[in-house]
Structure 1
Amino acid sequence: MNIFDRKINFDVLLKFSHITPSTQQHLKKVYASFALCMFVAAAGAFVHVVTHFIQAGLLSALGSLGLMIWLMATPHSRETEQKRLGLLVGFAFLTGVGLGPALELCIDINPSILPTAFIGTAMIFTCFTLSALYARRRSYLFLGGTLMSAMSLMLLSSLGNLFFGSIWLLQANLYLGLLVMCGFVLFDTQLIIEKAENGDKDYIWHCIDLFLDFVTLFRKLMMILALNEKDQKKEKK
């Protein structure tokens, strides 16, 4: 019973001795901005699905792309920090609006898909993020070339699906995309650390990398669950 008397030092679990203190402070800003993006994106999705005040379409897509280009073109400095945060919030909102059609599709099939996909995405993202943070520096940066090759393969399979319309090809593309995005979470997290260690402290742009990884993961997992649910309904019939 002495095992229950032992004290657990939780500080050790959050100790990243291989990451310098300045980079750790940078990561706190990155993930704080990421949390802000998640709340704003949820608001954007709510506006599309529930209020229908703003609908996803060509204008919202162009607006999201325009804000990203504007943010990219605005240099990182203390003078532009508030402006860039505003651009980040606008981009996250329109990204949430852009998820609206996929959310409505899943709600029509089975509303329980949404919380399942979100919890699954959060667990996957958290596990792979912690793996990248605790791993030895640069240990996952070699994935860059492999991930880009996999993205090219996904593009080819998507083009093939346009001509053949195979459900199996679509499912394979979704599963491959889910696996690739898990790799991007590892790669982008360690790349952010390396950039910060080399003096790049643009936490707003680094936040966008992780935010897009999460959104893409969520979209892929949501569509996989939706296709599986449709298959189950067909089998019952």
Structure 2
Amino acid sequence: MESFFQSSQSRFGSSWNFNAFKNLSEISPAVQSHLKQVYLTLCWALVVAALGSYLHILWNFGGLLTTLACLGCMVWIHFTPPHEEKKRVGLLMAFAAFQGASIGPLIDLAIQIDSSLLVSAFVGCAIAFGCFSAAAMFARRREYLYLGSLLSSGMSILLWLHFASSLFGGKTALFTFELYFGLLLVVGYIVFNTQMIIEKAYSGDLDYVKHAMTLFVDFVGLFVRILIILIKNTMEKENKKKKKRSD
């Protein structure tokens, strides 16, 4: 991870100029066309997810059932042949809608506390996602694929720590660690998955639906963690103000 940030700083630091965009010329036209289709599909999925969250706020139906439906749509997409394009796109949009409804309670909480948190979280998420995706595109091919093993190890650490906390306690301290360490892992997955999609496209895998779903999961994971951090910080500030007033 440290080498990734050092490489990113050297790439986008003092040596950054317009010529850096020429790195995109190394990506073949066919792969560039595929990436455009992937990101366009991702944008539509995000719009549908926002609609799903809005429907939850209206009718309060997001929860365990929508999460299970979300997983069902994901499995269905994987087992649907690539030539059934319309069906797979429809399943992806259903997946996005159920995912939006599943995080609806968190979004509803943010609106109740301070609606500006929602805007700040989305803008921050979009900027971070765009920057790290660009870092993966401008980098040399396969430069960040080594992150796969590190990220898998990081996820294993989180799972074992979560299991240990359920047995021995200490959930409050672990929650903060999981939140920020999980945020770091999601950022790493954005870079890794972007380069992996490019490499798969070069290998002939032009399944834009599955690739858009992968990036959608990364985007939502990043958004949720940023929003939770903003909510947590806001509530802590409010508690401090209440204590000062009571004193």
SS in 2 for 1:17: helix
| Structure 1 residue 43, shift from structure 2 partner | 0.4
- Alpha-carbon offset, residue 56 of structure 1: 0.9
Cα distance in 1 between the residues matched to 2:174 and 2:232: 12
Give the superposition deviation at 1:118. 0.7
Q: 1:33 matched to which residue of 2? A: 41
Q: Which region of structure 1 is more displaced relative to structure 2, 94-103 or 163-172? A: 163-172
RMSD of aligned Cα (Å) = 1.8
Q: Assess, with a 3 A threshold, how the Cα gap between structure 1 residues 19 and 45 changes in structure 2: closer, same or farther.
A: same
1:181 aligns with 2:186: yes
Match of 2:31 in 1: 23
Match runs of 1:74-223 below 5 Å: 74-77=80-83, 80-163=84-167, 164-223=169-228
1:5 is aligned to none
Structure 2 length normalisation: TM-score? 0.86
Unaligned runs of 5+ in 1: 1-8
Shift of 1:65: 1.1
Supply the distance in 2 between the matched residues of 1:160 and 1:40 (Cα, whole angstroms): 37
Aligned counterparts of 1:112 and 1:12: Cα–Cα separation in 2: 35
Which secondary structure state, in structure 2, belongs to the residue aligned with residue 140 of structure 1?
Answer: coil
Deviation string, structure 1 residues 67-90 (Cα, Å, up to 9, x no partner): 11111101112xx11111111111
Q: How does 1:6-17 map to 2 (within 5 A)?
A: 13=21, 16-17=24-25
Output the amino acid matched with 2:233: N
Contact 2:20/2:138, CA 8 A, preserved across alignment? no
* Structure 2 CA distance for aligned equivalents of residues 110 and 167 of structure 1: 23
The 8 Å contact of residues 200 and 206 in structure 2, kept in 1 or not, is answered as yes
Percent identity between the aligned chains? 43
| Count of matched residue positions in the alignment of Structure 1 and Structure 2 | 225
Q: Deviation above 4 Å: which 4+ runs of structure 1?
A: 9-12
Gaps of 5+ in 2: 1-16
Per the alignment, in what secondary structure is the counterpart of residue 138 of structure 1? coil
Q: Describe the shift of the 1:14–1:96 C-alpha distance in structure 2 as closer, same or farther (beyond 3 A).
A: farther
Given that 1:61 and 1:98 are in contact with CA atoms closer than 8 Å, whether structure 2 keeps it comes out as yes
2:100 equivalent to 1:73:
no
